[in-house]
């Protein structure tokens, strides 16, 4: 019976009884080195866990199923290089990545041109999927994401500061990236619509360490709150230096500040800090409890990171697709357009743009050195 099922599966996945592929690959296009490698490495571990579970369960008899690493280093040009390498490998059935919007957006056109599905675990700039709806796109719509978008996140932060914190004058800062500036612009748009005042809107350079000149000018403008679109490296420094200057206005950061590294960088003065998060982190999801347990067994030395369950879910989406329609890129794209997947995120399905229908935003505050859901 096992031999018969193996032959049947081999015929199914390639359509007829042509020679079956020796390997089925999922490309992991992530920042595996550099400042935010800790996040990319966590997603990588989660994807490997999903593939190992599928292989152990015997879901792909006689075929080697594996993940292949591609380090984009959070760099736009390197992401394009990575994308060109990925599409040239016919055994790759899908891309898990990229992490940064600034990498995902230019790489996505290359994947789409090749008809290769891409599912991002974290890129939140609306342009990533919205570009596919333009008449000038001229490619298949192969781009998806399991996280919600910055137009939702930025608006949620604005409503939180206006409605919950009751602040009406805000200084906004961003890191000039597609992600950071994009979410800050969405924040500004919604805050102004609510009737608030954005007294300044400044960009900083990723990698810079000294923001005291900017913060001194902002302090003189007497903001009631600060908003930052960017990653924890700069976010933590902004909080530390603002407090050193006596600028105590509450600080709200976008979801890339949701990481324990933020505490190390920001130091002790983190009272009055809030962070929005795209969806809910795994520790707050009942549907992710088993994932966390399995992750800790497989990777006992590594902490479960905020985006790891997204990587696990994407890998399982690809595995399910291959099992049901075979390692055919076009068929996998069609499968993803109509999927209703029950997994660690609850139900995952996509709209016509490729965006998740799950629009949840969680807001955290910091208490006793931990991120705690705001109530």
Mean pLDDT of 219-244: 97
Please indicate, yes or no, if residue 47 is contained in any of the structural domains: yes
> CB–CB of 308/302 below 8 Å?
no
pLDDT at 194: 98
Mean of the per-residue pLDDT values for the chain?
93
Indicate the residue among 230, 257, 278 that finishes a domain: 278
pLDDT tier, 272 (very low <50, low <70, confident <90, very high otherwise): confident
* Sequence-separated (6 or more) residues with CB below 8 Å from residue 347: 340, 341, 358
Of 9-13, 123-127, 213-217, 325-329, the least confident: 9-13
Please indicate, yes or no, if residue 332 is contained in any of the structural domains: yes
pLDDT at 268: 84
* Sequence-separated (6 or more) residues with CB below 8 Å from residue 48: 67
The pair of three-digit structure tokens given for residue 187, joined into one six-digit string? 């924040």
Indicate the residue among 262, 278, 294 that finishes a domain: 278
Residue 256 has pLDDT above 80, yes or no: yes
Q: For the segment 347-363, what is each residue's pLDDT rounded down to a tens digit?
A: 999 999 999 999 999 99
Shared-domain flag, residues 63 and 87:
yes
Mean pLDDT of 4-18: 44
Nearest to 175 by CA among 257, 120, 281, 244: 257
83/35 Cα distance (integer angstroms): 21
Shared-domain flag, residues 136 and 6:
yes
Decide: helix, strand or coil at residue 173.
Answer: strand
Q: Which residues pair with 66 in a beta bridge?
A: 25
Mean pLDDT of 101-112: 98
- Our measurement of the distance from residue 251's CA atom to the centroid of its chain's CA atoms, rounded to an integer in Å, reads 22
Cis omega before residue 363 (within 30°)? no
Shared-domain flag, residues 104 and 126:
yes
Share of the chain above pLDDT 70, in %: 94
Please indicate, yes or no, if residue 362 is contained in any of the structural domains: no
Residue 276 has pLDDT above 90, yes or no: yes
Mean pLDDT of 25-48: 97
Please indicate, yes or no, if residue 361 is contained in any of the structural domains: no
Shared-domain flag, residues 157 and 262:
yes
Shared-domain flag, residues 157 and 134:
no
> In a 10 Å sphere around its CB, with 0-12 CB exposed, 13-18 middle and 19+ buried, how is residue 81 labelled?
middle
Shared-domain flag, residues 136 and 158:
no
Residue 11 has pLDDT above 60, yes or no: no
Please indicate, yes or no, if residue 24 is contained in any of the structural domains: yes
Please indicate, yes or no, if residue 355 is contained in any of the structural domains: no
Share of the chain above pLDDT 90, in %: 91
Indicate the residue among 278, 307, 334 that finishes a domain: 278
Shared-domain flag, residues 254 and 293:
no
Please indicate, yes or no, if residue 371 is contained in any of the structural domains: no
pLDDT at 166: 98
Q: For the segment 127-170, what is each residue's pLDDT rounded down to a tens digit?
A: 999 999 999 999 999 999 999 999 999 999 999 999 999 999 99
Q: What is the CATH number of the domain that holds 27?
A: 3.40.50.2300
Shared-domain flag, residues 12 and 137:
yes
Nearest to 340 by CA among 326, 321, 325, 363: 321
Shared-domain flag, residues 202 and 169:
yes
Residue with tokens 């490997």: 48
Beta strands in the chain (DSSP E): 23-30, 64-71, 92-97, 118-120, 143-145, 169-174, 197-203, 225-229, 251-253, 273-278, 341-343, 346-348, 361-367, 370-373
Shared-domain flag, residues 205 and 231:
yes
- Our measurement of the distance from residue 137's CA atom to the centroid of its chain's CA atoms, rounded to an integer in Å, reads 23
Of 184-193, 262-271, 291-300, the least confident: 262-271
Shared-domain flag, residues 161 and 132:
no
Residue 252 has pLDDT above 60, yes or no: yes
The pair of three-digit structure tokens given for residue 228, joined into one six-digit string? 């930052």
Q: Give the burial string for 193-231 (b: 16+ CB within 10 Å, else e).
A: eeebebeebebbeeeeeebeebbeebbeeebbbbbbbbb
- Provide the number of structural domains found in the chain: 2
pLDDT at 3: 43
pLDDT at 20: 59
Structural domain boundaries, residue 307? 2-148+283-348
Please indicate, yes or no, if residue 235 is contained in any of the structural domains: yes
Shared-domain flag, residues 271 and 309:
no
> CB–CB of 68/92 below 8 Å?
yes
**CA 290 → CA 49, 121, 309, 361, distances in Å?**
12, 20, 11, 22
Contacts 24+ apart (CB under 8 A), 268-273: 269/239, 269/240, 269/243, 270/239, 270/366, 270/369, 271/366, 272/248, 273/239, 273/365, 273/366
């Amino acid at each position: 019976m096992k031999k018969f099922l193996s032959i049947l599966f081999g015929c199914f996945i390639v359509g007829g009884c042509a020679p079956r592929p020796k390997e089925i690959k999922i490309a992991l296009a992530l920042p595996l080195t550099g400042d935010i490698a800790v996040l990319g490495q966590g997603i990588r571990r989660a994807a490997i866990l999903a593939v190992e579970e599928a292989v152990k369960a015997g879901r792909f008899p006689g075929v080697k199923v594996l993940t292949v690493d591609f380090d984009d280093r959070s760099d736009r040009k390197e992401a394009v290089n990575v994308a060109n390498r990925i599409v040239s490998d016919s055994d790759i059935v899908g891309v898990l990545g990229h992490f940064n919007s600034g990498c995902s957006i230019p790489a996505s056109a290359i994947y789409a041109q090749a008809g290769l599905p891409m599912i991002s675990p974290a890129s939140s700039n609306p342009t990533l999927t919205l570009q596919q709806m333009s008449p000038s796109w001229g490619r298949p719509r192969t781009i998806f994401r399991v996280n919600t978008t910055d137009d939702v996140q930025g608006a949620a932060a604005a409503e939180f500061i206006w409605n919950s914190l009751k602040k009406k004058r805000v200084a906004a800062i961003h890191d000039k990236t597609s992600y950071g500036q994009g979410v800050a612009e969405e924040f500004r748009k919604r805050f102004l619509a609510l009737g608030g005042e954005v007294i300044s809107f400044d960009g900083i350079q990723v990698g810079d360490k000294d923001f005291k000149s900017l913060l001194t000018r902002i302090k003189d403008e007497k903001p009631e709150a600060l908003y930052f679109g960017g990653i924890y490296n700069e976010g933590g420094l902004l909080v530390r230096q603002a407090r050193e200057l006596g600028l105590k206005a509450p600080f709200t950061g976008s979801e890339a500040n949701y990481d324990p590294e933020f505490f190390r960088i920001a130091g002790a003065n983190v009272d009055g800090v809030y962070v929005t998060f795209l969806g809910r982190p795994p520790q707050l999801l009942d549907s992710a409890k088993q994932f966390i347990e399995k992750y800790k067994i497989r990777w006992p030395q590594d902490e479960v990171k905020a985006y790891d369950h997204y990587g696990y879910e994407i890998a399982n989406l690809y595995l399910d697709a291959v099992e049901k329609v075979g390692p055919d890129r076009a068929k996998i794209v069609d499968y993803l357009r109509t999927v209703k997947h029950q997994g660690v995120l609850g139900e995952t399905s996509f709209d016509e743009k490729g965006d998740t229908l799950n629009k949840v935003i969680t807001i955290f505050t910091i208490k006793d050195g931990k991120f705690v859901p705001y109530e």
